[in-house]
Structure 1
Amino acid sequence: MDFNLFEITPSKYLNGLLIFIFFLIIAKIVDIFVTKTIKDAVSRTSWKFDDRIVEIIHYPLFFTILIAGILETTYYISPPMNISFYVSGVFKSLGVIIWTIALYRLTSVFMEALPAKISFFADAEKELAPLFENLTKVVIIGAAIMALLSVWNKNITPIVASAGIAGFAVAFAAKDTIANFFGGISVFMDKPYRIGDYVILDSGERGAVVAIGLRSTKMLTRDEVLISIPNSIMASSKIINQSAPKPRFRVRVPIGVAYGSDVDKVEEILIDIARGNEYVTKKPIPRVRFRSFGGYSLEFELLAWVIEPKYMGRVVHIINKEIYARFAEEGIEIPYPKMDIYMKK
């Protein structure tokens, strides 16, 4: 900075005071601009978080300019080396602390705002967003500590090296936990399933996803048994999601009728039963397929879409009861395997 502009008086201390006053005026102008112009502008927007962002960076900007003025004044006055070192160190440290607090608060605001803008964070809000927030805050605090050590001319190389060795040791000891953590990240990003979806695992278990954590996914079976599966397994296994891409699920109800039955009547009754079920969707409509000529019956199959996979068992139960009642009422025989034995005398 060119100090000749401030050499108005013969006293360098008075000139130093003028330098500080100059920076104080600049700081006040910026402060007024932020509080009046920018704050008024963001208050008229629909996004509620910009007001909080301006409020957070308001004071750090003011004090940063003020600290710059103190440092420039100190440099101009040129006090003894030890005094200059400590004055510079104290005010630089103060600036680091002020901005660390501001960034710490901004992190919370951004992590609160991101779910409304980015669907990934909206899905991950309960588990993953707090983790990102905490990791970001740890990085901010770590960077602040490094900056403070650098301000006071402390050698940070041994600290960084020690941290690297410690991190490698921790990573090796907790490799399973880390594998589950990255498996959880993969699940959140790839979204093979969501909370509430009905899934079938490679091992055959079927149930609703009730929680997706960073270490494991929890699934509740129809027998009210809670299964916890590590995310490293979920990320590397084949998973059948019965609720995706749409929540409806198709059920198949096989039925055999005796030879000689009216096939058109059978089809009509089956479709009528499916349409009358409250859990069966209107679209796609139920269908009946005549599959084959069996050994002792005509093989039909009723295909109907259920509104949600969890109603599959209930729908099959209700439809089977109604088929039995309607066929008995209409005189349609449901055959069963039988053998005629003739005895010769």
Structure 2
Amino acid sequence: MESIVGEYLETIPTSIQVILILSFSFVAAKIIESIGYHVLHQSKRLATGEYDRIIIEELHVPLYVTIFLVGVYASARLLPEVGIGFYIASTAMSIILVLWAYATICLGGRIIGASNNAPTDREITPIFKNVLTFLVIVASFFLLLGIWNVDVTPLLASAGIIGIVLGIAAQDSLGNFFSGISLYLDKTYKLGDVVQLESGERGTVIDMSIRSTTILTRDNIAITVPNSELNSKQVINESAPVRRRRIRLDVGVAYGSNLQQAKEALLKIAEEEDLILETPGPVVRFQEFGDSSIVAQLQCHIEHPALRGRARHFLIERIDERFREEEIKIPFPQRELTFYESGNTVRFEDGNEQVAFPNSVSEDIAEQNTDD
């Protein structure tokens, strides 16, 4: 069949062959356009398939334009004038290349945007879009030079030298860029997470860019940290893997107190506080025999790490109030100081320590204490 068509075309004048090829490519392009329009507006599957619709929307126009331009390219190859045919064919191929490069950038950008729904993903999406755009433009540029028979060897050599120079000059920026990509892929943190840096700063992540991350402290101070520094140092994410966090509050209970009564009071206080989660419920653990008291630790959970300071504040207020009502003492450290006179010196005894002063110095101390 192909040989018959080829023999038939050879008997037709070149001008007629060109017209036939252009007409056929135009008709084929219109058919593809009509099919794409029908699929986009009639398919129920595409209404629910986001990626399918994106692909059809971005590719159906380049597809039918490419079919028509292929016909132009094939027609130009038949022209007897070598110069005219070359320029027409190269122009058609250049248009096809630019059209598909643009479609690739748009398609890739929309797919990246559709796949990243979280706030952090939306912030980091421009990085991937920019990388895709850069790669497509560079590849398209060299392909265009090849279409027009331009020798790219000198350009490649120059680009290599320029790349080395730029790499040395912008090594900090490149380090921050790749560190930002690494932090995103590792899911170290995302927008809204409460993090604590190795240097001690603690705050909420409010911005993630290609170069740095901005953290807002509780004092409303914005700290901008380069991504390379975050990637090389320890970062404590208090919001991962879940935002729920446990807080511990140590309370001293005086020796001789009813420990069961103190435990029930602490649990009741935690259950009544709105900031404390019901599940998991609060617990009380007695930690140790301290110097002045038995240390009871109230352990409870809050919904977000940012609520830690407020929750501790309300708990301390309520514990002090409830312990006063139930006459549960919270002792404070007390030290006994005794002194006695022996000869010309006065000895002060504080626990196991003894300090001796001359009698004149002790008199001065006694006078100062009398004046106070």
TM-score over 0.5 for the alignment?
yes
What is the CA–CA distance in structure 2 between the aligned matches of 1:321 and 1:20, rounded to whole Å?
A: 86
| SS class of match (1:125) | helix
In the aligned structure 1, how far is the partner of 2:163 from the partner of 2:231? 25
Secondary structure at the aligned position of 1:243 is classed as coil
Matches within 5 A, 1:64-213: 64-76=66-78, 78-115=79-116, 123-126=120-123, 128-213=124-209
Tell me how far apart the structure 1 counterparts of residues 315 and 54 of structure 2 sit (CA, whole Å). Answer: 58
How big is the shift at 1:265? 0.8
Q: Write the letter of the residue equivalent to 1:307.
A: E
- Decide whether aligned partners of structure 1 residues 281 and 163 sit closer, same or farther in structure 2, where only a CA change above 3 A counts: same
CA distance in structure 1 between the partners assigned to 2:340 and 2:99 by the alignment: 107
Find out whether 1:301 has 2:297 as its counterpart. yes
Structure 1 stretches of 4+ moved >6 Å: 342-345
| Deviation at residue 176 of structure 1 after TM alignment | 0.9
In terms of fraction of residues, the more strand-rich structure is 2
The more displaced of 172-181 and 144-153 is 144-153
Counterpart of 1:5 in structure 2 is 8
1:245 is paired with a residue whose SS is coil
Residue in 2 aligned with 1:229?
A: 225
Take 1:104 and 1:223, find their aligned partners in 2: how far apart are those partners? Answer: 42
Inter-partner Cα distance in structure 1 for 2:97 and 2:120: 35
Q: Cα gap change, 1:80/1:314 in structure 2, threshold over 3 Å: closer, same or farther?
A: closer
Alpha-carbon separation, structure 2, partners of 1:318 and 1:21: 81
In percent, how many aligned pairs have the same letter?
34
Gaps of 5+ in 2: 342-372
Instruction: For residue 188 of structure 1, report the CA deviation from its aligned partner.
Output: 0.7
**From 17, 20, 23, the counterpart of 1:21:** 23
Q: Aligned in 2, Cα 1:297/1:162: closer, same or farther, shift over 3 Å?
A: same
Q: Residues 141 and 343 (structure 1 numbering): CA distance in 2 closer, same or farther, change over 3 Å?
A: closer
Distance 1:211 1:298 in 2: 45
TM-score normalised by L of structure 2: 0.81
Q: TM-score, normalized by length of structure 1?
A: 0.87
Cα drift, residue 222 of structure 1: 1.6
Alpha-carbon contact 1:273-1:322 (below 8 Å) kept: yes
* Amino acid in the other structure paired with 1:89: S
SS in 2 for 1:45: helix
How far does residue 37 in structure 1 lie from its aligned partner after superposition? 5.2
Q: CA distance change for structure 1 residues 321 and 25 in 2, over 3 Å: closer, same or farther?
A: closer
Of 303, 324, 328, 2:324 maps to 328
The count of aligned residue pairs is 338
In structure 2, C-alpha distance between the alignment counterparts of 1:90 and 1:299, rounded to whole Å: 84
Query: Residues of 2 paired with 1:15 and 1:332: CA distance?
Result: 105
Alpha carbons of structure 1 residues 107 and 225: separation in structure 2 relative to 1, 3 Å: same
Q: How far apart are residue 344 of structure 1 and its match?
A: 7.7
2:369 maps to what in 1? none
Q: Kindly provide the amino acid, as one letter, of the partner of residue 102 in structure 1.
A: A
**In 2 relative to 1, CA 286–341 (structure 1 residues): closer, same or farther, beyond 3 Å?**
same
**Aligned-pair distance for 1:43?**
6.9
Q: Deviations over 1:177-225 (max 9, x none)?
A: 1111111111111112221121111111111111122211111112222
Q: Note closer, same or farther for the CA distance 1:157–1:343 as it changes in structure 2 (3 Å cut).
A: closer
Change (3 A) 1:172 1:255: same
**Higher RCO by CA contacts (8 Å cutoff, separation 6 or greater):** 1
- Residues 30 and 4 (structure 1), Cα distance of their counterparts in 2 relative to 1, 3 Å cut: farther
Residue type of the alignment partner of 1:192: T
Query: Match of 1:68, as an amino acid?
Result: V
Shift of 1:129: 1.4
The runs of 5 or more residues in structure 1 that have no matched partner are none
Matched residue SS, 2:207? strand
**How far apart are the structure 2 equivalents of 1:317 and 1:30?**
69
| In structure 2, C-alpha distance between the alignment counterparts of 1:339 and 1:105, rounded to whole Å | 76
Q: Which moved more, 1:239-248 or 1:171-180?
A: 239-248
2:64 alignment counterpart? 62
Q: Structure 2: which amino acid aligns with 1:41?
A: S
Residue 150 of structure 1 aligns with an amino acid whose one-letter code is G
Q: 2-side partners of 1:130 and 1:187: how far apart?
A: 15
Tell me the SS of whatever aligns to 2:158: helix
Query: Over aligned residue pairs, what C-alpha RMSD do you find?
Result: 2.6
Say which SS state the counterpart of residue 140 (structure 2) adopts.
helix
Give the 3 Å change call, closer, same or farther, for CA 32–299 of structure 1 in structure 2: closer
Q: Secondary structure at the match of 1:283?
A: coil
Larger radius of gyration: 2
**Counterpart code for 1:125:** R
User: How far apart, in 2, do the equivalents of 1:88 and 1:232 lie?
Assistant: 49
1:344, 1:23 → 2: CA distance? 116
With over 3 angstroms needed to count, the CA separation of the structure-2 counterparts of 1:262 and 1:170, relative to structure 1, is same
- Tell me: CA distance 1:37–1:325, structure 2 relative to 1, closer, same or farther (3 Å): closer
Residues 195 and 237, structure 2, Cα contact 8 Å, conserved in 1: yes
2:235 is matched with which residue?
Answer: 239
